[in-house]
Structure formats: structure tokens, C-alpha cells
Amino acid sequence: MTLEYWGIAADRLRKSLGNNNYKSWIEPLQFMGETNETAEFSVPTSFFGNYVRQHFEDQIIYQMCESGLQVTRVAFTVGRADQEAPAQMAAPATLASVKLREIQGAKLDMRFLFDNFVVGKPNELAHAAAKRVAEAGPVTFNPLFLYGGVGLGKTHLMHAIAWELQANRPDINVMYLSAEQFMYRFVQALRERKMMDFKELFRSVDVLMVDDVQFIAGKDSTQEEFFHTFNALVDQNKQIIISADRAPGEIKLLEDRIASRLQCGLVVDLHPTTYELRLGILQSKIELYQSSYPGIEVCQEVVEFLAHRISNNVRVLEGALTRLFAFASLVGREITVELTQDCLSDILRASDRKVTVEEIQRKVSDHYNIRLSDMLGPKRLRSFARPRQVAMYLCKQLTSRSLPEIGRRFGGRDHTTVMHGVRRIEDLRNKDSQIFDDIDLLRRSLEG
């Protein structure tokens, strides 16, 4: 009877949580029974159980009580899948998940879902393209090639696509692996004389996902096999998704024929994060951490400080936040800017910007093809004023100089003039695509 109650509760949860949340977090639960008003579930990992407890426990209890089963708490146990579980609870998405892990040899991270991906202007195209591919509809661009620097979200999107595909289309054969794993399997097949098995495995997939493809550059035999695998799948109209740390044409030692084919689909660049996007990422992570560290608050001043000082790598930003919460909980102190500076001194030193005001001024004047003396001088012509404001904005973003100090470097201007210029560019960035592209190009040039 308890299984019937759970079936009713699960149906109610689908309606209240929505199809995506249900398939990702409720459907994989295996109901093991009820003891002493405790509903027991088997979960694939401890992280999965913790996430469900933090986000859905109250709703599970409520819907189970509404369905007629009196429970006051839920319990999650990892690794009881080998025990005899109710057969009718073996959800398709869970079976697809097992199948995917067996084929791919690369474990998916349950943190990397579309729901957890913070979207901003630097990554909105990549996110939209990934969502389209994850729908598993007709192949519209092949391959999808995602590239960008370290910690900008490439692997997050790759994992999110895989999770979405296996949840929505358990009938299709998805393979996700790194380029290093592809090479390892290829070498192993050569050594064991099982090349036909290798070819059959990779040519039978419906979706092939290869992370960090730059790893195969310079490895001639692996590139040869990758080339033929790529062509075979494209000829069958099967979807290919690739990620790398740079554009196909910029990967040294990658064969021209492979680079050419990688560029024939949709190539999407994940741009460096903006200040606003980093703020959004931090807010999202803080909400998640506060469920694990109740009572610890982070003031807006600390969030803005972190978003300003740690700009190049989202992983470093998240790691800094993790350290802050752990430290504050262990020593029982409030998270302030002073605590942040003490606790993260090594990260902040490594993240200190090395760009100088003078370098920014030279780059901006060269970019807009004006004389440096005109940009720093008193002339207010638009052709000089706009580059001057762009340079001030970049000085604020990329250096630790104060507004008065920046003003002095720009012909002895007042700090309110600098503030006005910075705000003006911040406003234009969201409205004028040319300004956005100019700033992005200049930032890359200065940080490169």
C-alpha cells in the first residue's frame, strides 16, 4: 500500500514542481518504504540526497501526507540500488542515467544543470545554443563548438546538456567524454586489437560530446581516428558537441581538415564574465550555501568586493566563497570585508590585476585611432570624450586605483567626472553592441 501512496505523491509533485525538476530530482528517487513516520529513499549519490533534502523535503512530506501516508521526515540512503526495490519505480530517466555512465566512462556532476547556470550577456548565446541541442530535436547546427577560457562555464554547459538529454530522451544513445578519454580508449583498442569494437561503439551513438578537444592536437593517430569518427556521425546526421579552450583555428597542431570541420557548425565563444554576471553567480551560490550553513549572512559589500577582485575564473570565485563560509562557520565569525581579506589573502594576491592606467590609456587611444594627448586633454568632442570614458571604465574595472587617482591620471579631472564616465559606459554597454564589443576586445587585449 505504501508504494501506491508514493505513486500518488509523486504525481502531485510532478504537477507542483514542473516536469524538469521532477525528472531531474524526484523521478530518480527509489522509494524503499516507510518506518516510524519516516519515508526512506535510495539515492545515487550523497550530493543528490542533500540537494533533494535542501530543496524538496518539505514538499515531499506535504504531498505524501496529502496522499494518505503519514510521514514527518525523509531519509536518504546511498548505494542501496542493489537491494530489491519496487520494480515499477525504476524510472526511465534513472535507467538512461546508468546507461550513459556505462558508455561514457565520465561521471556527470549533478551540480552542473541548466537550472544552476547563471546567464548573462557574456554567455547567453552559448546557453541558448546548448538548450536548443539538449531538446534533441532536428539537428540544426553540427557540430556545436563551445570555447572560452578556464572557469567560464564550458564544462557546466556540456554536463547540463547530457543531464537534459538523458532526462528528456532516454531512448537516445548519448556519449560524453573528454578528449583524453577518447585517446585512451583509442590506444587501448589498438593495444588489444579491438579497433572494430572501438569504431562500432563511437559510430553507433546518437549524440557525441567531447570535452577539451585541444588535448588531441599534435597526436596524429588520435586525430586521424577522431576525423573519421566525426565524418561518420555527421553523415548519419548525428549530433556532435565539442568544447575547447580556444577557437578551432587557434588550436596549435590541430590538423587543418579537423579545424575546418569543427568550424562548419555553430562556433560560440563564452566571453569573460562581467561584473554584473559575477554578482549574479555569487548571489546564486550564496543562496545554496546558506541552506548548508544556516545563520551565516553575507553582506552586499562583501559580494561586491569579491565580484570586483576575482574576475578571471568562476571556479576560483566559487572556491573563495566556499572557503569563506567554511571559515566563518568554524570560527563563528560574521563574514565582513576584513574577514574576507584575511581569509582569502592568497587568492586575492593571485587575482590582483597587473594592468596599469598608462597601458589602458595607450590601448584605448590606439583602438579608437586618436592621439593620447587628445584623450587626456580638455577637449570635449565626442570623438575624444567617449574613448576617454571607456578608458576610465576599464581603469575602474582592471586596476585597484581609486576614482580620485584615476581622475588625476586623466589630466587632473575630478573624481565625480570619472564616476560619471564609468556610469555612462556601464549604461551604454547594455544598450550599444559596438561599445560592448569594444570593451570586450580591449579587456581581452589587456588581460591576455
Q: What is the model's pLDDT at position 47?
A: 66
pTM reported for the whole predicted model: 0.59
Q: What is the model's pLDDT at position 353?
A: 53
For residue 145 the three cell numbers come to 563548438
| Residue among 431, 424, 352 at smallest CA distance from 392 | 424
What distance in Å separates the CA atoms of residue 132 and residue 128, rounded to the nearest whole number? 6
Contact between residue 278 and residue 118 where contact means Cβ atoms under 8 Å apart: no
Instruction: Kindly give the parts of the chain with pLDDT less than 70.
Output: 1-2, 20, 46-47, 79-106, 351-354, 447-448
Tens digits of residue pLDDT in 257-295 = 999 999 999 999 888 888 888 888 898 888 888 877 777
Q: What is the model's pLDDT at position 93?
A: 39
Cα–chain-centroid distance for residue 318?
11
Tens digits of residue pLDDT in 191-227 = 988 898 888 889 888 999 999 999 999 899 999 999 9
Contact between residue 57 and residue 74 where contact means Cβ atoms under 8 Å apart: yes
Match 532526462 to its residue by C-alpha cell. 167
Helix (H) or strand (E) holding 244: strand 239-244
Helix (H) or strand (E) holding 75: strand 73-78
Q: What is the model's pLDDT at position 447?
A: 67
Helix (H) or strand (E) holding 35: strand 30-35
Q: What is the model's pLDDT at position 343?
A: 87
Contact between residue 228 and residue 196 where contact means Cβ atoms under 8 Å apart: no
